[in-house]
Each structure stands twice: as C-alpha cells, then as structure tokens.
Chain A
Amino acid sequence: MDVKLNVVYVPSEGVVARVIEDELIIVPLIAGIGDADDELYTMNETGKAIWLSLDGIKTLKDIAVDLSDKFNASPSIIEQDVIGLIEELTSRKMVVSLS
C-alpha cells in the first residue's frame, strides 16, 4: 500500500502504546494477545515524535513540516523518514489511514 503525504494516519486499534520513562513502548495485540515478551517495539526520538503526532488531524505532510522545524532538518529528509516509518507501520498493521 502506497503511503501518501496528504493522508491522515492514526494508530490502529490493534496496538497499545505508552511513553514510559521517555521511551515509547508499543505492544501490538497480535492473535488476541498483547505479547510484551516476543512482540514489543520501541522507537528512537524521530520515530517517537512521528508516532505521537498521529493525532487523527494532521496529514503526514503537516507532521513532516512540524518535525523539520523541531529537529532543524531538511523537510525532504524528514518526509522520507516519515514515509519510511509509516510504510513499515502500515505493513505491520500498526497504523491505518483515515481516508
């Protein structure tokens, strides 16, 4: 599935995510179980910032603009990071598009 910058994405119902001690912890609810032993994800600062920006209102483009300001980085590089992460999360059914 192609990820588009003008689309809004949100965490799927099949995950539980929490920031614990400044670290984003994501537990997918796979096969009817939240498995923190075999299937637990954490993200780096960029990934965490992207995930926490998935508020159901901002498009990926909006998120990339915000983050390029925050991290003082090139918007095109941030857009690539955003698309890459959302592609990965979409393939794992951890995020879904609202469109």
Chain B
Amino acid sequence: MPGISFAGLIEEVLEKKVPFRFTASGLSMSPFIRDGDVITIAPSSSYDLKRGDVVAFINPSTNLLTVHRILLFSKSGYLIKGDNTSKPDGQVLASDIIGQVVRVEHSGRNMRFGLGVERNAIAFLSHRGWLTPNIWKVWRVIKPFAEKWIINKRRSIL
C-alpha cells in the first residue's frame, strides 16, 4: 500500500488507542527488525519518546511509511535513522511520528533485542556511524564462532 495511505490507516487505528500489527518489509532496520517480521505499533506521545525508541513516521524525503530509530531529539525535531542505513532520515517533527514499535515478532517468536535497555547504546553507535552495514556483515561471519565459543565456555563452567 502507498506509504501515506497506509500511514493514514495506522493513524486511524491508533487514534482509537489501539495498537496496530502488520508485516514489515525492507532491510533498513536489520538485524533488529528483519524483512517479513511482524511489528506492533502503539500510539506514542511525543513526551514519552526517547533516544533509541523505534518509531513509525512518513519519511519526508521518500513519502513512504518508515520505521526507524530515534538517535536524538532537539527543539527542531527528532533525528531518525535506520540501524542498517548509512545516513539519517533527517529531522522529523513530533507531529509526523505516527507511533512507536512495541513488539517485534520473528517467525512467530517475540524478539525483544533492540527494543530494551540496549536501544540507547544502539542509537549511540548508529549516530556515530559505528553501526554500519559492514559491522553486521562482520558479525554474520564471526557469529557461528562466537556462539561456539559461548557454548564451550558454558560447558567448561558446568
């Protein structure tokens, strides 16, 4: 569905103080939100939004409904960026933010990582350009070894 129309549908649901659940598409928030993950958007108050929160808004440069992370906020708005993008979306006004992601489901499982206390650290790293797609490529390579090391470590402790 076109971004603005779908955003309007979401806004109408959220105006009834009811969360909205739908399937996300795209790679810009990978690996925290992956293509095909089901996300739930809840109504947000601009006073509740903090750095690290993942929000839904209409991207002014693309006119698409976008779900990205808040890096920081100032009087001129929120600086928002995808975890897996190289550049921020720019300053977004509080009035352009439709809602906040409160749940991510991957293959039917509830995924909390990226929405909890670590979200602040993720925003910090992302803002400084240290959370680049290259880091995730490196992580994907070393992940099997890291998991194996963790398993071995646990076995040695037991």
Report which A residues bind B (CB closer than 8 A).
13, 16, 18, 20-21, 25, 27, 29, 32-38
Q: Which of B5, B20, B22, B38 contacts A18 (CB 8 A)?
A: B5
Interface contact B18-A18, CB-CB below 8 Å? no
Interface contact A20-B23, CB-CB below 8 Å? no
| Distance, CA A27 to CA B6, complexed state (A) | 12
Q: Which A residues touch B22, using CB under 8 A?
A: 36-37
Q: Could you write out 27 A-B pairs with CB less than 8 Å apart?
A: A16-B12, A16-B16, A18-B5, A18-B12, A20-B6, A21-B2, A21-B5, A25-B9, A27-B9, A27-B13, A29-B13, A29-B18, A32-B19, A33-B18, A33-B19, A33-B20, A33-B21, A34-B16, A36-B9, A36-B20, A36-B21, A36-B22, A36-B23, A37-B21, A37-B22, A37-B23, A37-B38
A-B contacts counted at CB < 8 A amount to 51
Question: With an 8 A cutoff between CB atoms, is B158 at the interface?
Answer: no
Taking residues whose C-beta sits less than 8 angstroms from the other chain, chain B's interface range is 10 to 19
Q: Which of B1, B8, B18, B40 contacts A21 (CB 8 A)?
A: B1
Interface contact B13-A34, CB-CB below 8 Å? yes
* Beyond A20-B2, A33-B18, A35-B21, 5 extra complex contacts between A and B, CB < 8 Å: A16-B13, A18-B12, A20-B6, A21-B5, A36-B9
